[in-house]
Amino acid sequence: MFIQRSAVNRKYSGMQSIRAMKGLFIVNDFDRITLMNRRTLLSIGLVAAATTIPFLPRNSKTAHAMDDDIQLESNPKSVRPFTLTADDWKSRLSDEAFYVLREEGTERPFTSAHNDEKREGEYHCAGCDLALFEAGMKFDSGTGWPSFWQAIDGRVETKRDFKLILPRTEYHCARCGGHQGHIFKDGPKPTGLRYCNNGIALNFKPA
Which positions are catalytic? 196
Say whether residue 199 binds Zn ion (CB under 5 A). Answer: no
HSE at residue 42, side-chain half, CA atoms within 13 A, is 3
Say whether residue 128 binds Zn ion (CB under 5 A). Answer: yes
Say whether residue 181 binds Zn ion (CB under 5 A). Answer: no
- Alpha-carbon gap, residue 95 to 33, rounded angstroms: 23
| Exposed e or buried b per residue across 104-128, where buried means at least 16 C-beta atoms within 10 angstroms of its C-beta | beebeeeebebbebeeebbbbbbbb
Q: How far, in Å, are 22, 30, 84, 157 from residue 12 at the CA level?
A: 24, 11, 10, 18
- The correct pick among 25, 93, 178, 197 for binding Zn ion (CB under 5 A) is 178
Say whether residue 172 binds Zn ion (CB under 5 A). Answer: no
Query: For residues 138 and 175, which CB has a smaller minimum distance to Zn ion in the complex?
Result: 175
Burial (CB count <10 Å: 0-12, 13-18, 19+), residue 20: buried
Cβ 98 to Zn ion, closest distance in Å? Answer: 13
Size of the site for Zn ion (CB under 5 A): 8
Query: For residues 63 and 128, which CB has a smaller minimum distance to Zn ion in the complex?
Result: 128
Say whether residue 101 binds Zn ion (CB under 5 A). Answer: no
- Alpha-carbon gap, residue 111 to 35, rounded angstroms: 30
Find the part of the chain contacting Zn ion (CB under 5 A) among 3-11, 29-37, 45-53, 125-133: 125-133
Say whether residue 27 binds Zn ion (CB under 5 A). Answer: no
Cβ 173 to Zn ion, closest distance in Å? Answer: 3
Footprint of Zn ion (CB under 5 A): 125, 127-128, 130, 173, 175-176, 178
